[in-house]
Structures are given as structure tokens and as C-alpha cells.
């Protein structure tokens, strides 16, 4: 199986009247233009799945369980095999260690045939949508969950049901501020069934019904610059409609693209030359009439390449790995799980160190250790709160002590001599 990206279809036979979106202008409905403050452009292949580029020019090879199993079975006999390069690329991905706190290889992102979607990556995209809507903490009952066949709920369950309904309403209100635009090859009519499966999967993760707000215009975009031009055209149409309707306010634009598994470098978009992500962002902003400080744009290029021990170049649309997921979440004012855990660990380390310094200084280490032991039985937030209650020194004082101890090492011996000075006095 291969990804949908690749050679374009014959668009002369496309029945555009059967499509539910306006394909030419790309504009949102007038009633939504004023309420949307975040636009997310989604490319599916290379973002919600993993694909390896084929040097023969064919469609990218999909990283799924069937292809991985076939590559493993043919690994010992790969010499002389007609698909030797593809076998070696898939096995290289299977052993490629991921970064940014992801203690795994690409194997965790493998699609389960016949699906072309990675469940892990779809879940991360749903988290991005929630962060854009400002409803990351909301609770909603999954839309796919059927109603209980039992009798009427008891009075004890009524508050929980009301909370779930309130969470779903909050999520739906937040999603009205976000428009997800399909910029992938999946926007073509032949992939309508796949798009429906993707919408169902996102609805399941979000807990409320989800549907794409639109798609970029249909065109023969088999090259990276073509995809960039299509996105810029959609943004330009939106900005023109906002100006015509007198819509003002901040607008965030997030682009999740691997650009046909293509690295940046000397792209030609008419008179513009694109050499890096910054150039691509400026290209979209210029053509979107977006020379305003309250309009921000971020491109997350889900592309990577590496060389194996046998000097085989592997170019991959690696999907929403934690590194790319972190870039998207940071742009939307949130944090990825890895960065959030690092922040909690740093705060906890500062608290423990400051508490230990204070305890050695006033001779109450035993009492504070017993207090810490009692507080450790609660949640992580309660433990941190309990630690902070026992901090007579501020974090600034602790940092000053570290600075002084680096200049005069004998200060680091404060625990033995501070109690001794108190006894002498």
C-alpha cells in the first residue's frame, strides 16, 4: 500500500457540483468568517501517517503493519530483491529512534491495514484542535458512544451527566472558533470515503461531531510549490472576505504539511523563491494581504531525512512526532506532554532543593522530611503545594546560594557549620 499523495488525478472528469465545499474561492461561509480566529491547514499523508519517499517517482510508501511485516520477512533475502531499497528504508524507519521525550521508534505510528491513518497521530491532531479551541481541559461524551439501554439514570448520576453535557457544549462552542481546512491530496473526490473515516476518528477523540470547514481548490499539485500556492490562495480569499465584511481581530494560521516529503530549498513560486520555512510563511502572509501584527502564521514541516549505515538516504514524512507536535502546541499557547513534564520536574527540583537548604539552615531537617513524607501521599499538585508551604527562602535566594557556593566552595559546607554556629551562639 502507498500513500494517496503522488500523481494527480485527471481533474477534467471531476464532478465539482457533488462537493459540499466552494472549491474556487476557498472562502468560509459568511456566518463563520467573523467567529473563526484559528485556521488549521491539514495535509494527511506525512502528518497523520508516516511515508517514505520512493526515488522512482511513485507515490510514497506507506509505513503500515503489512509493509513492515513484508520487509521483515524479506530482510535476509533483500540482496537482489527488486524492492531492496524500499525494504531497507522501511526497516530503517522501524529502528529509527525518535526524539523529544519519545522513547520509541516509528513503529508506534504504523497504520493498521487497511487504514491509512495512525491512531496515535490522529489523537495528537485532535489535541491540537482542542488547544486551538481553548477546550483542552473540557470533558465531553464521545459522539460515537451509544446511549445506555438501561432504565432512567438515578439522581446520583444526574450531576455527572450534566457535567458531561456541559463539557460537550463547551467543546462545540470552542470548535466554532476553529476552521480545519483540508489541503491534502485527500481533498480529491476519489478519497471521500477516507475523509469520512478521518472525520469519524476525530469526532471520537474530540467527543463531539467534527467536519472539515473547507478544502483548498482542486489543482494539479504534485509538487511542493503547488501545495504552497494553493494554501496561499485560500488565505488570500479569506482575507479579502474579512476585509469586505469588515471583520477585524486576531487570526492564527497553522499549516501542518510535509509538502510531498520535500525539503525546503530553491522552490519557485512565480517570482518568489522559497528556501526555508520562514520564506514560505512570508509568502503566505504576503499573498494573504496579512501585513498586520495581529495575524500570525506557523508552518510545521513534518519532514525529516537521514542516512543509514549503508549510505542510503531516507526521506520521510514523519507525521506529528512529539517534536512537531510541540511546535504546533507552542504556537497555540499550550505545551506538549514532554515539555509539561519537564516543567513540573524542574519546579519540583527547585522546591526540594530550597526546602533542604532551609532545613539545614534552621536545624529542622527531620521535621520537614516527615512533613514531606506525609505530603507525598497526595497528588503531584498537592505535593508541590505542601512543599511550597515550607519554603522560608525564595527561589531567588536558592539561586544566590548556588552562585556564592561556586565562588567560595566552603559555603557549600553550610549544613555542618550552620548548626555548629547556632550552638556556639
The pLDDT of residue 257: 97
Contact between 270 and 246 under an 8 Å Cβ cutoff? The reply is no
Predicted TM-score (pTM) of this structure: 0.75
Give the Cα-Cα-Cα angle 377, 381, 382 (nearest 5 degrees).
45
pLDDT at 51: 95
Judge residue 17's burial from the number of C-beta atoms within 10 Å of its C-beta, 0-12 exposed, 13-18 middle, 19 or more buried: exposed
The pLDDT assigned to 243 comes to 86
Question: What torsion do the CA atoms of 294, 300, 49, 183 make, to the nearest 10 degrees?
Answer: 50
Closest to 284 (Cα-Cα) out of 251, 260, 331: 251
Which one, of 72, 90, 88, lies nearest residue 80 by Cα? 88
Q: In which residue ranges of the chain is pLDDT below 50?
A: 7-25, 139-163, 390, 392-393, 416-425
Residue 28: per-residue pLDDT: 86
CA distance 327 to 309: 30
H/E stretch holding 305 reads: strand 303-307
Spatial separation of the C-alpha atoms in residues 178 and 28, rounded to whole Å: 11
Closest CA to 358 of 319, 387, 316: 387
- Alpha-carbon distances of 424 from 154, 220, 407, 417, 418, rounded to whole Å: 69, 86, 26, 10, 10
Q: Residue written as cell 490522529?
A: 122
Task: Please state, rounded to an integer, the average pLDDT across all residues of the chain.
Answer: 79
pLDDT of res. 315: 96
Q: Which candidate, 370, 394, 375, places its Cα nearest to that of 386?
A: 375
Amino acid at each position: 500500500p502507498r500513500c494517496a499523495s503522488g500523481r494527480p488525478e485527471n481533474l477534467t472528469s471531476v464532478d465539482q457540483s457533488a462537493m459540499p465545499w466552494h472549491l474556487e474561492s476557498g472562502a468560509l461561509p459568511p456566518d463563520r468568517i467573523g467567529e473563526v480566529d484559528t485556521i488549521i491547514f491539514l495535509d494527511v499523508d506525512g502528518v497523520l501517517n508516516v511515508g517514505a519517499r520512493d526515488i522512482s517517482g511513485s507515490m510514497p510508501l506507506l509505513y503500515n503493519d503489512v509493509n513492515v511485516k513484508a520487509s521483515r520477512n524479506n530482510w535476509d533475502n533483500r540482496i537482489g530483491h527488486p524492492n531492496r531499497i524500499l525494504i531497507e528504508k522501511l526497516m530503517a524507519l522501524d529502528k529509527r529512534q525518535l526524539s523529544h521525550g519519545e522513547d520509541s521508534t516509528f513503529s508506534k505510528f504504523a497504520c493498521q491495514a487497511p487504514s491509512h491513518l495512525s491512531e496515535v497521530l490522529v489523537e495528537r491532531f485532535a489535541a491540537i484542535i482542542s488547544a486551538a479551541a481553548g477546550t483542552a481541559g473540557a470533558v465531553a461524551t464521545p459522539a460515537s458512544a451509544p446511549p445506555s439501554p438501561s432504565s432512567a439514570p438515578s439522581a446520583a448520576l444526574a450531576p455527572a451527566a450534566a457535567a458531561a453535557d456541559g463539557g460537550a457544549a463547551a467543546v462545540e462552542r470552542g470548535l466554532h472558533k476553529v476552521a480545519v481546512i483540508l489541503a491534502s491530496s485527500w481533498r480529491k473526490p476519489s478519497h471521500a470515503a477516507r475523509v469520512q473515516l478521518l472525520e469519524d476518528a476525530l469526532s471520537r477523540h474530540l467527543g463531539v461531531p467534527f467536519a472539515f470547514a473547507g478544502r483548498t481548490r482542486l489543482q494539479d499539485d504534485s509538487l511542493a510549490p503547488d501545495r504552497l500556492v494553493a494554501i496561499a490562495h485560500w488565505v488570500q480569499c479569506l482575507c479579502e472576505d474579512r476585509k469586505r465584511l469588515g471583520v477585524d481581530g486576531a487570526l492564527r494560521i497553522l499549516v501542518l504539511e510535509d509538502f510531498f516529503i520535500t525539503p525546503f530549498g530553491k522552490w519557485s513560486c512565480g517570482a518568489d523563491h522559497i528556501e526555508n520555512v520562514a520564506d514560505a510563511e512570508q509568502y503566505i502572509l504576503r499573498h494573504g494581504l496579512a501585513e498586520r501584527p495581529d495575524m500570525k502564521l506557523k508552518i510545521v514541516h513534518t519532514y525529516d531525512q537521514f542516512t543509514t549505515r549503508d549510505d542510503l538516504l531516507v526521506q520521510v514524512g514523519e507525521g506529528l512526532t512529539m517534536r512537531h507536535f510541540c511546535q504546533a502546541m507552542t504556537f497555540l499557547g499550550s505545551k506538549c506532554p514532554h515539555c509539561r513534564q519537564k516543567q513540573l520536574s524542574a519546579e519540583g527540583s527547585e522546591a526540594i532543593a530550597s526546602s533542604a537548604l532551609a532545613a539545614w539552615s534552621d536545624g529542622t531537617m527531620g521535621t520537614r522530611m516527615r512533613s514531606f513524607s506525609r505530603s507525598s501521599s497526595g497528588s503531584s499538585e498537592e505535593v508541590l503545594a505542601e512543599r511550597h508551604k515550607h519554603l522560608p527562602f525564595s527561589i531567588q535566594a536558592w539561586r544566590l546560594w548556588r552562585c556564592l557556593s561556586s565562588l567560595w566552595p566552603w559555603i557549600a559546607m553550610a549544613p555542618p557549620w550552620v548548626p555548629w554556629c547556632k550552638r556556639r551562639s
